[in-house]
Amino acid sequence: MNLDQFWVDLAAVLASASPLILATLGETITERAGVINLSLDGTMLLAAMVGFAVGFQSQNVGLGLLAAALVGGFIGLILGFLSLSLRQSQTAVGFVLALLCTDLSSFLGNAYVRVPGVAVPSMPIPFLKDLPILGKLFFHHDLIVYSSFILTPALSWFLFQTRNGLILRALGEQPTAAFARGINVIQYRYFYTILGGMLVGLAGAAYSLDLKQGWSHRHIAGMGWIALAIVIFGAWQPWRVAFGCYLFSALQVLASRSQSLWPSVPTQVFQVAPFALMLGFLVLVNLSNKPPSTPREAQISLRWLSLAKLMLLMQGLLHSLAASPPAALGKPFYNDEP
């Protein structure tokens, strides 16, 4: 592989991760507030379909993106109503919404399957695009990709440097304490569930109006589930979540590149492999939550010393990845009975 090809691939990784970044950071916001929105897979499909259809009918990309965000926010509202107001299990409601929205997208989207529509225009940034390497990597994209670049530091700053960010974290970690301080926990959770949902909706449209430029039945099925896994992988920290998105995106590019290396393996296997691998990484991160122990057999003889060192190194690495969810994530909270 030559170096030019490498930079092209890397730029492709950055661009193709952008919808995932919108979705995962949206879900990060929602989960930081203590609510799990499990409907991502269906929400993204429905928003992708509606966004594409509205864009197609109005010949206006902006309206398409707006419609997709509204769909995502509306699904968040339904989840909020059923789980926050009617106190049903977030997991159950989210799962039902995931399946329902998937079927809705297939049923309502029939007329738009593989028709050419509008797309987000490419927008290289003047001057910066001519920088060597960096220009190709970062400044030859469109608004969706640029916003994915900005969203990660922005959310990180909001969460950890602002008062509202502190409140958001308190909603997920210490809702009773937040309530005692006069914060309407339920109202705030509604707000962040809808806001996160809107980002997830935008992510769907980022596929149908940008990355894939079109709609077909279930064409991004699985992405919502992987987004949910990446949020856990990223330990609800914006930078690590974004890293997870780029990792998954890199796995996809790698998979499509390695098809030619193993011609005997069917191409369909390479399309599924990144999903299985990404969840494998999640397992590794979770293993790191266990307290480290010294491998006993490694102490037995000198021959194993290097192996022991390697294992300790691995454990140290894993331990640095240790992650724990917001303490009140998924747990119900009621204003009237704190």
Partner 1 sequence: MQKMRFSSLAVQNFLLTTAGTLFFTTLILLISGISPLAVYQLLFFGAFSSPSKIADLLMLAAPLLLCAAGLTLTFAAGLYNLGIEGQLTLGAIFAMLPLRLWPDLPPPLLWVLAFLAGALGGSLWAASTASLKIYAQVNEIFAGLGMNFLAMGIALYLVFGPWQRIGTASMSGTEPLPNELWLPTLPNLRLAPLAPLLALSALGIVWFLLAHTKWGISVRATGLNPIAAENLGVPTNLRLFETLFGCGILAGIAGAIQILGVFHGLIPNVSSGIGLLALLIVLLVQAQPTWLLPIVLLFASFAIGSVQLPLALNVDSNISGVLQGSLVLFALMARGIQERRQKKH
* Site residues for partner 1 per CB under 8 A: 38, 78, 82, 85-88, 91-93, 95-97, 99-100, 102-104, 106-108, 110, 222, 225, 228-229, 232, 264-266, 268-269, 272-273, 275-276, 279-280, 282-283, 286-287, 289-290
In the complex, least distance from residue 99 CB atom to partner 1, rounded to whole angstroms: 5
Q: Residue 147 or residue 288: which is nearer to partner 1 going by CB?
A: 288
Q: Residue 82 or residue 241: which is nearer to partner 1 going by CB?
A: 82
Q: What is the CA radius of gyration of the chain?
A: 22
In the complex, least distance from residue 130 CB atom to partner 1, rounded to whole angstroms: 41
**Which segments of 69-153 are extended strands (E)?**
none
Query: CA 190: distance to chain centroid?
Result: 20
Q: State how far the Cα of 173 lies from the Cα of 166, in Å rounded to an integer.
A: 10
Q: State how far the Cα of 72 lies from the Cα of 147, in Å rounded to an integer.
A: 18
In the complex, least distance from residue 289 CB atom to partner 1, rounded to whole angstroms: 6
Contact 327, 173 (CB under 8 A): yes
Contacts of 18 (CB under 8 A, 6+ apart): 141, 144, 145, 147, 148, 206, 210, 211
Which phi and psi angles does 61 have, rounded to 5°?
-65, -40
In the complex, least distance from residue 141 CB atom to partner 1, rounded to whole angstroms: 29
Q: Residue 214 or residue 274: which is nearer to partner 1 going by CB?
A: 274
In the complex, least distance from residue 203 CB atom to partner 1, rounded to whole angstroms: 18
Q: Residue 50 or residue 151: which is nearer to partner 1 going by CB?
A: 50
Contact 72, 197 (CB under 8 A): yes
| Selection from 75, 66, 125, 131 nearest residue 102 by Cα | 75
Number of neighbouring beta carbons within 10 Å of residue 298: 16
Q: Residue 273 or residue 308: which is nearer to partner 1 going by CB?
A: 273
- Classify 59 as helix, strand or coil: coil
**Sign of torsion, CA 216 218 219 223?**
positive
**Which segments of the chain are extended strands (E)?**
none
Residue 172 has what DSSP assignment? Answer: H
Q: Residue 102 or residue 249: which is nearer to partner 1 going by CB?
A: 102
Q: Residue 59 or residue 289: which is nearer to partner 1 going by CB?
A: 289
Contact 65, 205 (CB under 8 A): yes
Q: Residue 110 or residue 176: which is nearer to partner 1 going by CB?
A: 110
In the complex, least distance from residue 249 CB atom to partner 1, rounded to whole angstroms: 16
In the complex, least distance from residue 307 CB atom to partner 1, rounded to whole angstroms: 22
Burial of 183 (0-12, 13-18, 19+ CB in 10 A): middle
In the complex, least distance from residue 122 CB atom to partner 1, rounded to whole angstroms: 32
